[in-house]
Amino acid sequence: MLSTSPSDLIWVIGFSPHSRWIAPVVRAAIRGAWPEAQEIANTQLGDEALAPELMEVAIQQTAEYLACSSPIGVEQTQEILSRYYRNAVRRKKRATQRLLFRGSTREIEFLLPSARSFESAVEADIDLGKILDETPPDLRHAMLMRLGARSSWKDVASATGKSMDAIRMGCRREVERIRKRFGVQGPGPKV
């Protein structure tokens, strides 16, 4: 089987006229991050072949993030891409660990976590104490402004020099996780 070239992975990015700068920097960032990405897939998941699909997830998320930001360089893009990639690896690892139950009923009974530890596992899935750990600094600051100072998104946007839509879009992933954790629905469509 032919091995995947990092450049093959760029297809996941949709192109829009105002974000044409994104593809070249992401492509360069992928090339830079690729050797380490393969190594991580190998050491963390035991399967280097998983690297392409996880990198595709990271590319998609990076492109979404960049679509709301001002143009940045390859080095910074690679940092963001690597962060999203490591997140994808962690999620994959967690999902794999949950599925690995083998053996007899007795053994499985012994191995099955208690209801409490299962609850902990679910809670850990959306551990709000760590929710911002992988968030880029500008968006982390924006989230803290909402949490700590209760600045409106409009004020956060004004303070960070971004549009309100851009800042909300940037923080969307984190806000969605908080909503999910507490069963809160997002605002309905504007009438």
Q: Which of residues 111-130 bind other proteins (CB under 8 A)?
A: 128-129
Question: How far apart are alpha carbons 69 and 25 in whole angstroms?
Answer: 13
20's tokens: 């044409």
Among 18, 114, 115, 186, binds other proteins (CB under 8 A): 186
Q: Which is nearer to other proteins, 94 or 179 (CB)?
A: 179
Among 19, 140, 169, 173, binds other proteins (CB under 8 A): 140
In this chain, which stretch among 8-16, 72-80, 102-110, 155-163 interacts with other proteins, using CB under 8 A?
155-163
177-191 in b/e form (b: 16+ CB < 10 A) is eeeeeeeeeeeeeee
H helix or E strand, kind and range, residue 175: helix 172-182
**Residue 145 lies near other proteins (rule: CB under 8 A):** yes
77-102 in b/e form (b: 16+ CB < 10 A) is bbbbbbbbbbbbbeebeeeeeeeeee
Q: Which is nearer to other proteins, 45 or 159 (CB)?
A: 159
Question: How far apart are alpha carbons 157 and 97 in whole angstroms?
Answer: 40
Count, residues near other proteins per rule CB under 8 A = 34
Q: Which residues bind other proteins (CB under 8 A)?
A: 128-129, 131-133, 137, 140-141, 144-153, 155-156, 158-160, 175, 178-179, 181-188
